[in-house]
Structure 1
Amino acid sequence: MKRMMALSLLLGFFMVPGGFAQGAAQAQAFPHKSVVMLWPAGTEKVNPDIPETIVPKDFEAVKDVHNPSLTVFRPAKPNGTAVVICPGGGYTIIATGLAGYPVAERLNEAGITAFVLKYRLPSTKGAGFKHPIPMSDALRAVQWVRFHAADFGADPQKIGLMGFSAGGHLAATAGTLFGKYSFGNDAVSKVDSRPDFMGLVFPVITTRKGIAHGCSRSPVDPRLSKQQVPEMSCELNVTKQTPPTFLAHAKDDATVKYQNSVLMHEALLAHGVATELKLYEKGGHGFGLGREGTDSMQWPGDFVAWMKSLYPNLSFDSE
């Protein structure tokens, strides 16, 4: 039985920067690197009047997201696949400039349309963005892309979800719990929220003692800990409906132990879900597109090769 989470939404379409139009002109409303808002005006716990906070880093990072959004990255030659990217940051920041925009550009080279998600963080002070609020943004992103798939030359049955570190945890919760939750009551919310595939890179997965990273409990509302903690251990929530999943991790990751990915891989295999696990000798944590001089740099190519195996009739060539 689905657990309905009541969120107040206005019915119908919502405007994006530059306007929204039907038919052939609609594609012009979503140029490369355009930004679209995920939720309609009036949505509970969404406030477009509160600006994001830029976090001083060597790369772009943000926090205090009150108006979740997708940044669109369109390839020159879309091949019909699309991916929503959830950057990591320990559920305290969103490292868009490390495991967001650069990854989207790399996926574009393979013909994959990419959308970088800025989601509400459970650590946002006084906002009440605990589980399932962050997950609602990830699921809504999948629905939004699927709803608008034709505008991006994408197949609505080839929409994936990718996440890094805590963003991997977010993606994995969405990819395992989509059948238990629904959000909203507008046209987008009626679309299937199940990702067709997942890519999890150095992901936080489990709450198991000795393996867990502390941020796996960050989304938990202390008042609902008994109900929510089991949902934070993604390997325990895998079913045969969980999407095919690619996992990549470095063995020398001292922040998020690679056993997180192993546990998820084993759970997927146990339920007959197609999965591939790539363990690299070196790379540490937060390696983005790969840490130079290490075999972690292989992961983008390995992911594209896996996508080719999922969709052998599509082209993933950059030429």
Structure 2
Amino acid sequence: MKLLTFLSFYFLIVSQLCAQHLVPLWEEDKIPNYTATDDKEYIAPNRDFNFTMNIQKPEMEIMLPSKRSSNGKAVLILPGGGYAGVSYDWEGTEVGQWLNSNGIAAFVLKYRMPQAASVKTSYKAPIQDAQRAMRYIRAHAEEFNIDKDKIGVMGFSAGGHLASTLATHQEAYYTSNDKVDEEAFQPNFLMLLYPVISMQKGVTHEGSKNKLLGKSPDKKLVDQFSNELQVNDKTPTTFIVHSGDDGAVPVENSIRFYQALVKHKVMADMHLYPEGGHGYGMGIANKNAPKWKGLAELWLSELK
């Protein structure tokens, strides 16, 4: 009996390890828009969550529910951090655990920071990594027990900007070089939590804009990455949450994006709250934070 108990525990641990692991998106010599440097990734000190900075090589954490629980859906998670770093557990792995509990496969992306010394062209690096991540997930869909046509993207704050870029920009930002890149990178659905959307003055989050585009970008680049201007009838169905008292990213970002979706007859579900501030993650550490999980679970369950 003791042996049986031990073996059951052993195989449980092994199955969990197999279902959650980090993978590089590219081999080092194939990372686009990259030059090798001595810079190192590190976790910012004096934080009460894992804020990973100076990311040099993009990686993705794979978090899978059991096959018995899986419903075939998957979500690529893009944590926020103002394009200076990523809130890896707060807006990443904790979100993945919640998705797994609902039978949804989760993939947390550690994307490169635009101003990293290893990046050649700042604004290209994050979207290159996001496009590659989506292609990687689709290329391994059978292995992950998911449906290629049920893969969404979820972004928080600056990660919301990256998610909306992935969902609205039709061009590939790097040259294809292997079988993975034969897959489509457009998500099937989009989830945005207190997102940066616009790069327009007076609406954007200036810190994210400066990191992504530089301090004096030309108007063409500003418009290109103002994603409310990039919405069209191919933009996927979208779920949005934002708070009116957000002092970091104005709620107008979400409003403009929602208006663009409605204009192009894209199904959208937006929830605006009077309070909550910014950066509340799963909404459990801030008493005024929107309790959005139940709404999101219902929305996910009803996706066509």
Change (3 A) 1:29 1:73: closer
Q: Is residue 200–residue 222 contact of structure 2 (8 Å, CA) maintained in 1?
A: no
Residues 228 and 257 in structure 2, CA contact (< 8 A), matched pair in contact too? yes
Identify the residue that residue 9 of structure 2 maps to in structure 1. none
2:122 aligns to what?
130
For residue 280 of structure 2, what is the aligned residue in structure 1? 287
Whether contact under 8 Å (2:55, 2:85) holds in the other structure is no
Q: CA deviation at 1:221?
A: 5.4
Deviation at 1:207, TM superposition (A): 2.0
For residues 69 and 47 of structure 1, do their structure 2 counterparts lie closer, same or farther at Cα, with a shift above 3 Å needed? farther
Aligned to 1:166: 158
For 1:187 and 1:30, the matched residues in 2 are separated by 27
Superposed CA offset, 1:72-106 (max 9, x none): 11113111000110100011111102101111101
Q: Give the aligned partner of residue 294 of structure 2.
A: 301
- Mapping for residues 32-43 of structure 1, pairs under 5 Å: 32-43=19-30
**More displaced stretch, 218-227 vs 173-182:** 218-227
Shift of 1:196: 0.5
- Three-state SS of the structure 1 residue aligned to 2:133 is helix
Partner of 1:14: none
- Write the distance in 2 (CA, Å) between the matches of 1:72 and 1:88: 18
What amino acid does structure 2 have at the position aligned with 1:66?
Answer: Q
Instruction: State the structure with more CA Rg.
Output: 2
In the alignment, the residues of structure 2 paired with residue 66 and residue 53 of structure 1 have an alpha-carbon distance, to the nearest angstrom, of 10
1:213 aligns with 2:192: no
Pairing 1:54–2:19 present: no
User: Alpha-carbon deviations, 1:275-300, whole Å to 9, x = none?
Assistant: 11011222110000014464634212
Query: In structure 1, what is the equivalent of residue 111 of structure 2?
Result: 119
CA distance, structure 1, for counterparts of residue 166 and residue 153 of structure 2: 9
Please, what TM-score do these two structures have when normalized by structure 2?
A: 0.87
* Counterparts in 2 of 1:30 and 1:188: CA distance versus 1, 3 Å: farther
Q: Deviations over 1:259-280 (max 9, x none)?
A: 1111111101101111110112
Unaligned runs of 5+ in 1: 1-27, 312-319
Contact 1:281-1:296 at 8 Å conserved across structures: no
The structure-2 alpha-carbon separation of the partners of 1:175 and 1:299, relative to structure 1 and needing over 3 Å to count, comes to same
- Output the amino acid matched with 1:286: G
Does the CA contact (< 8 Å) of 1:69 and 1:119 recur in 2? yes
Match of 1:69 among 59, 64, 70: 59
Note the C-alpha offset of 1:211.
1.8
Counterpart of 1:270, as a letter, is: K
> After superposition, what is the alpha-carbon deviation per residue over 1:15-41, rounded to whole angstroms, capped at 9, x for unaligned?
xxxxxxxxxxxxx89822201111123
Q: Which runs of 5+ in 2 are unaligned?
A: 1-14
Q: Does 1:253 align with 2:242?
A: no
- Identity, % of aligned pairs? 37
Q: TM (normalized to structure 1)?
A: 0.83
**Deviation string, structure 1 residues 200-234 (Cα, Å, up to 9, x no partner):** 10000112332211113422257973432112201
Q: 1:52 and 1:307 mapped to 2: Cα distance?
A: 34
Deviation at 1:67, TM superposition (A): 1.2
Structural mapping, 1:1-319, within 5 Å:
31-43=18-30, 44=32, 45=34, 51-56=40-45, 57-76=47-66, 77-125=69-117, 127-179=119-171, 181-214=173-206, 215-220=208-213, 225-292=218-285, 294=287, 296-311=289-304
